[in-house]
Amino acid sequence: MHDSILWRRIDQPGHEFCELIDHRLRGVALFTHEKHACRLDYEIECDPNWKTKWATVRGFVGDRVIDVRAVSANAKWTLNGVPCPLVDGCIDIDLNFSPSTNLLPIRREAGKVTAAWLRFPSFLLEPLEQTYTRLGERSWRYESAGGKFVAELEVNDSGLPTKYGNIWIAE
């Protein structure tokens, strides 16, 4: 399986390129945060059931260097080698700055999941309850934080979002 996509932010300046090769996502996000330029390169490796094995994020938020590695071994998480028991049991990583990781539960046609949410700009892991409801062949309703955030997702054949609410759209 191979697919790639270029997203544009709708709500603020920014773009992201993402490539899907087999069970690996790889991409780069370029945007601004509090008037600082940001570049975040990421890579995520999943097992054949689309469960996260590891994820890396490297880059810059302004002049701050970002270099994180989250690893899940039997749903026991570490962040840069430090145990993260708060997200133990989670099978998905969710990159707060990217629409790419919605692909993981969509590929499994999951309903309710709790993801290990890599927050931006802190780059700490915390649990995030999520619900994916299929609306059509290529559309999903996404809810998180107990319904505090809701977005309709349209996806391509691979499961990559082509539209993510009023935040991201494929070019």
From first to last of the 171 residues of the chain, give the pLDDT tens digit. 899 999 999 999 999 999 999 999 999 999 999 999 999 999 999 999 999 999 999 999 999 999 999 999 999 999 999 999 999 999 999 999 999 999 999 999 989 999 999 999 999 999 999 999 999 999 999 999 888 999 999 999 999 999 999 999 999
Range of 166's domain? 2-170
What domain count does the chain have? 1
pTM: 0.95
Using an 8 Å Cβ cutoff, are 112 and 129 in contact? Answer: yes
